[in-house]
Amino acid sequence: MTDDPDHIIEVKELVKKFGSFVANDRLSFHVNRGEIFGFLGANGAGKTTTIRILCGLSYPTSGEIRVAGHDVYHEREKIKRKIGYMSQKFSLYEDLTVSENIRLYAGIYRLNRKQINQREEQLLERLGLLPIKNRLIRDIPLGWKQKLAFSVAIFHKPDIVFLDEPTGGVDPITRRQFWEMIHDATLEGITVFVTTHYMDEAEYCDRVSIMVDGRIEALDKPAVLKKEFDSKNMNEVFLKLARN
């Protein structure tokens, strides 16, 4: 396997079967270091299966896959230390406070006490959460929760952060602020791998892949895809691909 140092994720002929059902059918693609990579597809297209494999939570049936330079069959623990993950459904502990969540994740990622204190302060300050740091997560608005969850997911400065529908149900302004945070993270060298059902957000990605029935049907820059499918926006591209 060629090890292009600019490919932070390298996937060759990834197959994942559940019994006779083929969830991922010979996927081959790469993600460039530092880019925002949009991973789109209809419900049930196989996106979550792929993400779980890339995060070292599930074994592929076959294929060669490297994430942050590590093999997904034998070096899963190394991968886990180099990635961050957040989803819409589970991101923070509802029954812990803002501050406790930050400290818990910082501890899991093995920051020492001094680093934890320092970074907790910085983070609360930056997100404007200092006044509510002792409030339970379940009592804060979703938008704040998702911004905090993202910050926590990149707290340990991972090589890659996986975001699984991070903006679902979030108000339109907070959703845009969230994408500005994503852009800022890339400036710090973090690669972003993101899924979304908001097609305007597909435009914010450097490159986008669209998965249909376990296969990647299209992968390119949004501008190129729009031209190729003769569409005025990514929503049209998506509808054209996923409907056929």
Q: Who's near 19: CB < 8 A, 6+ residues apart?
A: none
Between CA 213 and CA 49 the distance in angstroms is 12
CB of 136 to another protein, least distance (A): 12
* Pair of tokens at residue 208: 């986008």
Distances (CA, A) of 42 to 58, 119, 157, 178, 193: 21, 38, 31, 23, 17
174 in contact with another protein (CB under 8 A): yes
Name the residue nearer to another protein (CB basis): 5 or 131.
131
CB of 45 to another protein, least distance (A): 8
Between CA 31 and CA 174 the distance in angstroms is 27
Q: Binding another protein by CB under 8 A: which of 88, 91, 191, 209?
A: 88
**Radius of gyration from C-alpha coordinates of the chain:** 18
42 in contact with another protein (CB under 8 A): yes
223 in contact with another protein (CB under 8 A): yes
143 in contact with another protein (CB under 8 A): yes
Name the residue nearer to another protein (CB basis): 2 or 43.
43
Q: Binding another protein by CB under 8 A: which of 2, 20, 43, 134?
A: 43
Name the residue nearer to another protein (CB basis): 155 or 204.
204
142 in contact with another protein (CB under 8 A): yes
Name the residue nearer to another protein (CB basis): 46 or 63.
46
228 in contact with another protein (CB under 8 A): no
Q: Who's near 120: CB < 8 A, 6+ residues apart?
A: 99, 102, 103, 106
170 in contact with another protein (CB under 8 A): yes
76 in contact with another protein (CB under 8 A): no
Q: Which of 85, 227, 230 is nearest to 162 (CA)?
A: 85
Kindly write out the interface string for residues 99-138 of this chain, putting x where it contacts another protein by CB under 8 A and - elsewhere.
Answer: ----------------------------------------
Q: Who's near 219: CB < 8 A, 6+ residues apart?
A: 29, 207, 208, 209, 210
Q: Binding another protein by CB under 8 A: which of 25, 203, 213, 220?
A: 203
Task: Please give the residue ranges that form the binding site for another protein (CB under 8 A).
Answer: 41-45, 88, 141-143, 165, 168-174, 176, 179-180, 183, 197-200, 203-204, 222-223, 233-235, 238-239, 242-243
